[in-house]
């Protein structure tokens, strides 16, 4: 869950669940609240160490006991307003482990246990929500959304497949709807079936299409994104190419994660780089987390487009690579986030050379922010990209600047843009007048 670490709202809280006296000394539970882009994820992770002779039926009964206990706990300890109830999802992850070494200290941290030589065996199990709710003592028709339960293996398989906070959120909403429908129809789908269904829904690309239409409306695109059209059409028609597109998006998402971590690590080593106005004495943890979120808040398709833009560079004309160039790209997850990809020229001293551009990333970001006619704009992300070729290997060195943008109405942005155009026109006219005066003075001197 590395990508979700920057969304953690507060410190992880160790909790004691009510009505569990029999196994109280053999379990650990902790609560984490993640403020994801689309809402709050309230996560309870529950680990229990069972004797080797416990029967499967007893384990299932234990799962229901834990489900009841967490349901009771969350209603009294998770505070939420009426407005935030629809933007909040509660998840229980059950991690059931058999004790192998009876001398193992159950109070030791779970991470330390995993470092020992097979002290416990983690059981692969699935608790379906319908089975848990069936024996639940809690009123599931309450105003808050039902608690969703996962076995440890299922939860981490989902995290590995989705990787992305916004996609995880949408999956949990989809799963909740499927679970409620299955309960009505008395159907029990496996976790694998549910996540496969989520990735294959016909409107999977609907958020990206909405943003694509908005970009056309603002005049930032002349026509719909061709890749988005192809992928969404394959999704709706269940074309054989759909699986290929899903594989491409998964690969791009993993690569974007890797590149993001590299960029952020470089920034983290230089806290002054992401300090906007605060003094260096202030804590930079919140600032850095905010930076992280801006480049990790991207969907599968949005990451696909960003990585595709990066990997078009080697196919560009040699002259263009030599000179350097700029590509404007937009987030397909959030209309308020815009990207400027500056591919450094190979001539280090040229106009688009690394030495000329790198010190001015912040100025470039502010200039772009002023020129964009979008009221929704809130961040401009500038990437300075240096393609380095050594022997037969090629890799990227990327400079990062993320510029927050003050809220402006569309009218204010348009007026600001017009003022800039007038200033540039005046400067151009002044230059022409100066040049004419020089020519006249030179002519008079000759005569």
Is it the case that residue 128 has pLDDT exceeding 80? no
pLDDT at 179 over 70: yes
Higher-confidence position of 138 and 414: 414
3-state secondary structure of 145: coil
pLDDT at 69 over 80: yes
pLDDT surpassing 80 at residue 254? yes
Per mean pLDDT, which range of 95-109, 187-201, 285-299, 336-350 is the poorest? 95-109
Does 277 score more than 60 pLDDT?
no
| Higher local confidence (pLDDT), 284 or 417 | 417
Is the predicted pLDDT of residue 325 greater than 70, yes or no? yes
Identify the pLDDT of residue 265.
84
CA distance 301 to 305: 6
Which of the four pLDDT bands, split at 50, 70 and 90, describes residue 232?
A: very high
Q: Residue 328: pLDDT above 80?
A: yes
Mean pLDDT value of segment 97-112 = 56
Most confident by average pLDDT, 23-27, 100-104, 122-126, 246-250: 246-250
pLDDT tops 70 at residue 84: no
pLDDT in the model for residue 270? 72
Report the pLDDT value the prediction gives residue 440, as an integer from 0 to 100: 60
| Nearest-angstrom CA–CA distance, 45 and 27 | 11
Q: What is the pLDDT of residue 441?
A: 60
Contact 46, 27 (CB under 8 A): yes
- pTM check: above 0.85: no
- Residue of 114, 179, 120 lying closest to 149 (CA atoms): 179
Q: Flag whether pLDDT at 174 surpasses 80.
A: yes
Strand-strand pairing, 27-36 and 39-50 = antiparallel
- The DSSP-derived string for 344-380 is -BSSTTSTTBHHHHGGGHHHHHHHHHHH---TT--EE
pLDDT of 418: 74
Please determine, for residue 379, whether its predicted confidence score (pLDDT) is greater than 60: yes
**pLDDT tens digits, residue range 420-435?**
667 767 776 766 666 6
Measured CA to CA, the distance from residue 20 to residue 24 in angstroms comes to 6
- Helix, strand counts (H, E) of the chain: 15, 10
Give the per-residue pLDDT at 239: 93
Q: Highest-confidence range of 94-108, 186-200, 246-260, 410-424, by mean pLDDT?
A: 246-260
Residue 145: predicted pLDDT: 80
Write the pLDDT tens digit of every residue in 49-62.
887 777 878 888 88
Sign of torsion over alpha carbons 368, 370, 372, 377: positive
Q: 114-123, 128-137, 253-262: which range is least confident on average?
A: 128-137
For residue 144, what pLDDT band results from cuts at 50, 70 and 90?
confident
Supply the pLDDT for residue 281.
39
Q: How confident is the model at residue 282 (pLDDT cuts 50, 70, 90)?
A: very low
When the pLDDT of each residue in the chain is averaged and rounded to a whole number, the result is 81
Which residues, 6 or more positions from 175, have their beta carbon under 8 angstroms from its beta carbon?
Answer: 148, 194, 198
Confidence at residue 133, expressed as pLDDT on a 0 to 100 scale: 58
pLDDT digits (tens, 9 = 90+) for 184-225: 655 667 888 899 999 999 999 999 999 999 999 988 999 999
Of the ranges 37-46, 91-100, 387-396, which is most confident? 37-46
Whether the pLDDT of residue 19 is over 70: the answer is no
pLDDT of residue 273: 59
């Amino acid at each position: 869950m590395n990508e979700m670490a920057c969304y953690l709202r507060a410190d992880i809280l160790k909790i004691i669940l009510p009505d569990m006296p029999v196994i109280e000394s053999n379990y650990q539970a902790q609560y984490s609240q993640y403020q994801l882009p689309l809402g709050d994820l309230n996560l309870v992770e529950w680990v229990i160490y069972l004797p080797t002779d416990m029967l499967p039926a007893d384990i299932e009964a234990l799962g229901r006991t834990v489900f009841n206990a967490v349901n009771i706990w969350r209603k009294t300890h998770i505070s939420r307003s009426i407005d935030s109830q629809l933007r909040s999802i509660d998840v229980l992850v059950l991690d059931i482990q058999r004790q192998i070494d009876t001398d193992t200290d159950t109070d030791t941290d779970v991470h330390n246990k995993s470092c020992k030589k097979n002290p416990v065996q983690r059981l692969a199990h699935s608790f379906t929500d319908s089975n848990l709710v069936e024996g639940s003592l809690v009123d599931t028709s309450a105003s808050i959304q039902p608690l969703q339960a996962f076995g440890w293996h299922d939860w981490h398989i989902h995290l590995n497949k989705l990787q992305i906070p916004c996609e995880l959120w949408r999956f949990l909403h989809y799963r909740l709807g499927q679970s409620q429908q299955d309960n009505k129809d008395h159907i029990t789908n496996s976790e694998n079936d549910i996540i496969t269904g989520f990735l294959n829904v016909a409107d999977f690309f609907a958020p990206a299409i909405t943003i694509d239409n908005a970009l056309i409306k603002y005049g930032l695109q002349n026509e719909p994104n061709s890749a988005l059209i192809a992928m969404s059409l394959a999704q709706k028609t269940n074309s054989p190419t759909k699986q290929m597109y899903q594989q491409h998006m998964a690969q791009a998402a993993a690569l974007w994660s890797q590149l993001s971590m590299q960029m952020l690590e470089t920034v983290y080593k230089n806290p002054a780089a992401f300090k906007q106005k605060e003094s260096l004495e202030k804590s930079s943890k919140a600032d850095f987390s905010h930076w992280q979120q801006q480049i990790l808040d991207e969907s599968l398709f949005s990451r696909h487009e960003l990585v595709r833009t990066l990997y078009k560079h080697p196919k560009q004309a040699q002259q263009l690579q030599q000179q350097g160039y700029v590509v404007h790209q937009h987030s397909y997850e959030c209309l308020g986030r815009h990207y400027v990809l500056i591919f450094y020229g190979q001539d280090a001293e040229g106009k688009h050379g690394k030495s000329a551009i790198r010190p001015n990333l912040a100025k470039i970001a502010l200039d772009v922010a002023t020129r964009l006619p979008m009221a929704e704009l809130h961040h401009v992300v500038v990437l300075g990209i240096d393609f380095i070729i050594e022997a037969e290997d090629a890799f990227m060195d990327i400079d990062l600047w993320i510029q927050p943008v003050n809220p402006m109405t569309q009218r204010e942005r348009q007026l600001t843009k017009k003022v800039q155009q007038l200033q540039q026109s005046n400067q151009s006219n002044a230059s022409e007048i100066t040049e004419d005066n020089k020519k006249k003075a030179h002519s008079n001197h000759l005569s």
